[in-house]
């Protein structure tokens, strides 16, 4: 549930989902060969193996000349176009979402992709740092 929307809800949701999945621990389950029923060991837990770490970065464009990263809700409403770029830890482009608005030049799109790649690295490090601090405090 979003309590206070001030822009970039998609970015926040992707980051929260990634952090939650990286923090998930599932109990060990073994299938009993004689009864074919599952036996759950709540004491033994294993983390999920997350192979990809996508992170979104939102942008607002004003007349294809001014680019704002991580815009507020007000900036989103005033912009001529907005888009979200999702990249992963291997600098691969996962998604580009541009719901209408004015056209975007190839140069501006490439600038958004480059900035999204930089943001992905920063967010990935931040998530790992927070999760490591949670592990050591337990």
For the stretch 97-134, pLDDT in tens is 999 888 888 999 999 999 999 999 999 999 989 888 87
Examine residue 138 and state whether it is found in any structural domain, yes or no. no
3 belongs to a structural domain: no
- What is the C-alpha to C-alpha distance for residues 71 and 57, in angstroms, rounded to an integer? 10
Nearest to 23 by CA among 138, 134, 136, 137: 134
Number of domains, the chain: 1
Q: Which domain holds residue 106?
A: 9-133
pTM: 0.79
DSSP 12-32: HHHHHHHHHHHH-EEEEEEE-
Examine residue 36 and state whether it is found in any structural domain, yes or no. yes
52 vs 10, 22, 43, 127, CA distance in Å?
18, 10, 28, 13
**1 in any annotated domain:** no
Identity of the highest mean pLDDT range in 3-17, 37-51, 58-72, 83-97:
83-97
Q: What is the CATH number of the domain that holds 26?
A: 3.30.230.70
pLDDT higher than 80, residue 61: yes
- Both tokens of 94, joined, read 């996962």
What's the pLDDT score for residue 131?
Answer: 87
Tell me if 121 is assigned to some domain: yes
H-type helices in 24-81, by residue range?
Answer: 73-78
Residue 4 included in any domain: no
């Amino acid at each position: 549930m979003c309590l206070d929307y001030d822009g970039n809800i998609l970015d926040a949701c992707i980051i929260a989902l990634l952090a939650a999945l990286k923090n998930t621990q599932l109990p060990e389950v073994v299938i009993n060969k004689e009864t074919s029923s599952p036996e759950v060991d709540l004491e033994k837990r294993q983390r999920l193996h997350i192979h990809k770490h996508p992170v979104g970065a939102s942008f607002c464009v004003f007349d294809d000349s001014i680019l704002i990263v991580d815009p507020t809700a007000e900036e989103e409403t005033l912009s001529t176009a907005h888009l979200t770029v999702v990249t992963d830890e291997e600098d691969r482009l996962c998604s580009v979402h541009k719901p209408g608005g004015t056209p975007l030049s190839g140069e501006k799109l490439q600038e958004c992709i480059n900035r999204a790649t930089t943001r992905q690295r920063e967010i990935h490090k931040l998530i790992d740092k927070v999760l490591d601090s949670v592990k050591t405090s337990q």
